[in-house]
């Protein structure tokens, strides 16, 4: 795996695919700068070597050219974060762009306009990728969030750089962290899989069954498992068409010697709202009219013990409706248990969607070993899929 440290960028123009798909408010101000900060080390390495950086990204889902999705809105924020006044050009291919690139001096940074203003980007168009490729001497892919897409700037472009391409620091770190959990992991390995639905995590659970010792299943998806084991789940969320899959997973785990832990008690509510009445019930005996919305106190203690005994921890998906304060305790206690285990020397990776939002919201992002930046990409890696953006770099 070739990374930035294998290349000296002196007098070189690095064409860097970053993931600057950041949230903007109504005044077009960036409300979460995590992704820009995550790309900073890569950009600085190029500049410190004595090269220049051409940054390309998508933003949102524009239908053609739509001003509200212009990357010009983020120029000042990117400049502040990397500490260099970033230049901007209102397109990503064409003569004007090539001219701006030719005029770019060492130490300078040029941000191109939203790649998705051209439908060829998502279509993975080869001509478009070739036009982009003219802009740099070296191609650097640092966009983990789009590595599972075979788009022009994330995958197709790599073929035009035979040797002169490498992973950025962020993408390399994502791959390393996932390997630390799935292949070079210290045992016992515990995966915590939460979230609303089993259906979205079936492939993840099946793939990790070969790699972990324990799986904690929490959140809404737990009820499909509890029901198939004969439990009474009241009005809790359940996918009746996935009962057979849940049973298959339980059987596979048994055959492979992987322990599956489900909640033993739950905090249930009489409606899906912050004002609901709540009560604690055994997870397999929830009355009708009540739905489990968070892990109960005994469950929180049990999960904490398992986590404290683990040397490697993977967390994907909240174990309760943490967006409502009343039902956030289980997810907070789980996050704290992971933070404590990490302080004691375990390696912990939090990735994929809402668990990342949860660790940020509860101030735990710096207390775990690694927080992944890519939701869908992380899930596909956990499913055991080869990501096209990563594969293209290895060819
Ligand atoms: P996912 O996107 O699959 O990771 O699901 C995340 C969502 O699952 C969050 O918005 C949580 O509020 C929701 N969730 C977690 N536990 C439950 C539950 N017991 N019932 C309903 N939704 C839940």
Measure 11 CA to ligand 1 centroid, in angstroms: 50
Q: How far apart are CA 304 and CA 306, in angstroms?
A: 5
Is the shortest distance between the CB of 234 and ligand 1 below 6 Å? no
Same domain for 200 and 112: no
Q: Is 230 a catalytic residue?
A: no
Query: Does any domain span residue 90?
Result: yes
Q: What is the arithmetic mean of pLDDT over 277-301?
A: 98
pLDDT tens digits for range 261-282? 999 999 999 999 999 999 999 9
Q: Is 353 a catalytic residue?
A: yes
Rg over alpha carbons for the chain, rounded to the nearest Å, is: 23
pLDDT at 20: 96
Query: Does any domain span residue 178?
Result: no
Same domain for 240 and 365: yes
Query: Does any domain span residue 180?
Result: no
Same domain for 336 and 229: yes
Q: How far apart are CA 82 and CA 157, in angstroms?
A: 25
Handedness of CA 271, 274, 280, 282 (dihedral sign): positive
pLDDT at 313: 97
pLDDT at 34: 87
Q: What is the arithmetic mean of pLDDT over 32-53?
A: 96
Is the shortest distance between the CB of 351 and ligand 1 below 6 Å? no
Q: Is 134 a catalytic residue?
A: no
Number of the ligand 1 atom closest to the C-alpha atom of 355: 4
Same domain for 200 and 88: no
CB proximity list for 348: less than 8 A, separation 6 or greater? 312, 313, 314, 315, 338, 339, 341, 342, 368, 369, 370
Same domain for 47 and 136: yes
DSSP secondary structure code for residue 3 in this structure:
B
CA nearest ligand 1 atom 13, residue = 196
Query: Does any domain span residue 394?
Result: no
Element (H, E) at 277: none
Residue 152 pLDDT grade (very low, low, confident, very high; cuts 50, 70, 90): very high
Residue 196 pLDDT grade (very low, low, confident, very high; cuts 50, 70, 90): very high
* Domains held by the chain: number: 2
* CATH code where residue 102 lies: 3.40.50.1260
Same domain for 100 and 19: yes
Mean pLDDT (the chain, rounded): 96
CA nearest ligand 1 atom 21, residue = 220
Is the shortest distance between the CB of 197 and ligand 1 below 6 Å? yes
Is the shortest distance between the CB of 330 and ligand 1 below 6 Å? no
Is the shortest distance between the CB of 320 and ligand 1 below 6 Å? yes
pLDDT at 376: 85
Same domain for 293 and 240: yes
Q: What is the arithmetic mean of pLDDT over 47-58?
A: 98
CA nearest ligand 1 atom 1, residue = 195
Is the shortest distance between the CB of 218 and ligand 1 below 6 Å? no
pLDDT at 387: 94
CA nearest ligand 1 atom 11, residue = 321
Same domain for 319 and 212: yes
Residue 5 pLDDT grade (very low, low, confident, very high; cuts 50, 70, 90): very high
Same domain for 192 and 149: no
Contact 265, 298 (CB under 8 A): yes
Same domain for 344 and 213: yes
Measure 332 CA to ligand 1 centroid, in angstroms: 14
Q: Of 31-35, 206-210, 340-344, which one has max mean pLDDT?
A: 340-344
Measure 290 CA to ligand 1 centroid, in angstroms: 16
Measure 354 CA to ligand 1 centroid, in angstroms: 8
Is the shortest distance between the CB of 124 and ligand 1 below 6 Å? no
Chain centroid offset of residue 2 CA: 22
Query: Does any domain span residue 284?
Result: yes
Number of the ligand 1 atom closest to the C-alpha atom of 316: 4
pLDDT at 62: 97
Residue 141 has pLDDT above 90, yes or no: yes
pLDDT tens digits for range 80-100? 999 999 999 999 999 999 999
- The domain in which residue 267 lies consists of 185-382
Q: How far apart are CA 86 and CA 108, in angstroms?
A: 7
pLDDT at 36: 95
pLDDT tens digits for range 58-73? 999 999 999 999 999 9
pLDDT at 52: 98
Least confident of 2-6, 155-159, 320-324: 2-6
Residue 373 has pLDDT above 90, yes or no: no
Query: Does any domain span residue 392?
Result: no
Residue 352 has pLDDT above 80, yes or no: no
CA nearest ligand 1 atom 18, residue = 220
Is the shortest distance between the CB of 263 and ligand 1 below 6 Å? no
Point out the domain boundary residue: 109, 134, 169: 169
Query: Does any domain span residue 395?
Result: no
Same domain for 155 and 36: yes
CA nearest ligand 1 atom 3, residue = 195
Number of the ligand 1 atom closest to the C-alpha atom of 318: 15
Measure 273 CA to ligand 1 centroid, in angstroms: 13
């Amino acid at each position: 795996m070739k990374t930035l440290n294998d290349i000296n960028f002196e007098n070189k123009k690095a064409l860097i695919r970053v993931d600057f798909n950041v949230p903007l408010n109504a005044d077009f101000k960036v409300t979460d700068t995590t992704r820009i900060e995550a790309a900073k080390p890569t950009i600085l390495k190029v500049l410190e070597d004595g090269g220049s950086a051409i940054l390309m990204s998508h933003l949102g889902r524009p239908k053609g050219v739509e001003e509200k999705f212009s990357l010009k809105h983020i120029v000042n924020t990117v400049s502040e974060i990397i500490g260099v006044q970033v230049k901007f050009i209102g397109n990503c291919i064409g003569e004007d762009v090539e001219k701006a690139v030719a005029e770019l001096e060492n130490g300078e940074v040029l941000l191109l306009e939203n790649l998705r203003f051209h439908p060829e980007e998502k279509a993975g168009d080869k001509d478009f990728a070739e036009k982009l490729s003219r802009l740099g001497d070296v191609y650097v892919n640092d966009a983990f969030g789009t590595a599972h897409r075979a788009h022009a700037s994330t995958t197709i472009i790599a073929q035009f750089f035979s040797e002169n391409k490498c992973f950025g620091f962020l993408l390399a770190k994502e791959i390393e962290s996932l390997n630390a959990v799935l292949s070079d992991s210290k045992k016992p390995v515990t995966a915590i899989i939460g979230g609303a639905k089993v259906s979205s995590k079936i492939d993840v659970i099946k793939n990790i069954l070969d790699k972990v010792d324990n799986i904690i299943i929490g959140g809404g998806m737990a009820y499909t498992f509890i029901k198939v084991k004969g439990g009474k789940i009241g009005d809790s969320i359940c996918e009746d068409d996935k009962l057979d899959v849940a049973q298959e997973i339980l059987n596979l785990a048994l055959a492979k010697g992987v322990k599956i832990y489900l909640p033993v008690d739950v905090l249930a509510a009489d409606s899906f709202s912050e004002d609901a009445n709540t009560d604690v019930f055994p997870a397999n005996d929830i009355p009708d009219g009540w739905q489990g919305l968070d892990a109960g106190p005994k469950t929180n203690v049990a999960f904490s013990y398992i986590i404290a005994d683990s040397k490697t921890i993977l967390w994907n998906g909240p174990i309760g409706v943490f967006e409502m304060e009343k039902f956030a305790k289980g997810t907070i206690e789980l996050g704290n248990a992971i933070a404590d285990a990490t302080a004691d020397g375990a390696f912990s990776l939090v990735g994929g969607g809402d668990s990342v939002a949860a660790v940020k919201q509860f101030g735990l992002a710096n207390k775990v070993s690694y927080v992944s930046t890519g939701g869908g990409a992380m899930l596909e890696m956990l499913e055991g899929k080869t990501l096209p953006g990563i594969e293209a770099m290895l060819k």
